[in-house]
Structure 1
Amino acid sequence: MFNLIRRDVILQKRQLLFFIPFILFFIFTNSHPVLTFLVASIFIPFNAYAYDEKAETNLLLNSLPYTRKEIISSRYLGAVIYMILAIALSSLALFLMDKPFTIRDIAIGSGLFLTFSAFTFPLFYIFKQGYIFTIVLVSFLVLAGIGPSILLYLGTHFTPLTDFLANLSVQFLYTGAVLSGVIVYVISWSISHVIYQRKAL
């Protein structure tokens, strides 16, 4: 299974040349650290899915001595590993460029990545390949654009919820957010496993 995880990096050797400039672009444009961590985490896992869509890799993977469970597990475990590496590199870049960020930013970025991945990864196994990556990319851009406005609206019009969250400690709040992301991610992992086991290639 480790070879399946490593495969994503090997296949993206050329794309990885753009990884650091990709991160630096968000830093130079003074994007919020949370957004920087999020997009950096997304880079490798979703590029891997995009490549597999174009190359129809499912047929090849299933002809190799790997079970479908291992294929799914490599995707989900690999995404977490690449998220950790991406956040580490992003943190180093932010530090070297004297851009402020906090553990809270890392926690929120990680939680958002896990949540977004949890909702989108199963789509690659539910729908026919070809346009899923484009749909996911557009969805991400739309959510990134309107997400802050939605949160602002909820904060303004749902004051009981806002007051409840305000009374929670910061540590509890962000720990809960990360744990929620992890739980949703694990559930998504299970759903993708069931779908892929039953899917005809």
Structure 2
Amino acid sequence: MDIVASLSALILLSPVLLVVALLVHARLGSPVLFRQVRPGRHERPFEMIKFRSMRDATGPNGRPLPDAERLTPLGRWLRATSLDELPELWNVLKGDMSLVGPRPLLMEYSGYYNDEEQARFSVRPGVTGLAQINGRNETSWDARLAYDAHYAREYSLRMDLSILLKTVAKVIRRDGVVVAPSQIYRKLSDERAR
């Protein structure tokens, strides 16, 4: 289902992908895609791709500026509409991700999951998931990871179809979108290291 759906979506959405790629190139330059290694099923690393939404800007110390300062108006719009996520369909087609599953988080969070939350790695990470339809970035880390663990234990075709339909509705309404998540919550590693 993932392969057929992602291939169909890539073909149908190719004009949208092209327009967004041209906009990103015109406003942010190259590269058009943001690539980052994330943990996949069984914590195997894979390279997740998205459209780039931030400029490369550093402070006087040479470190990147906070996300909120590097986000451009185009980047805010891409995140608000979830168009920045479309290239992840390629990750689904390759088998690194699924359409539905726990969102792939940062590699640096390894070691901060409790035993129950580790269940998230028994399934492929998803473009959308149970946590995304239940508050997205507006929920606490504990709640999001509990949704991920619940999905990993109980997933089914029926649940996946329900999540996909609810995701479409949330994207259209722009429900629960936080374009600069670092402004409202800490990284998981920072929160659990306290």
Common fold by TM > 0.5: no
Q: Which has the higher contact order (CA 8 A, sep 6+)?
A: 1
Structure number with bigger Rg: 1
Q: Which has the higher helix share?
A: 1
Give the TM bin, normalised by the shorter chain.
0.3 to 0.5
Q: Give the TM-score of the pair, scaled to structure 2.
A: 0.32
- Structure with greater proportional strand content: 2
Could you tell me the TM-score, scaled by structure 1's length?
Answer: 0.32
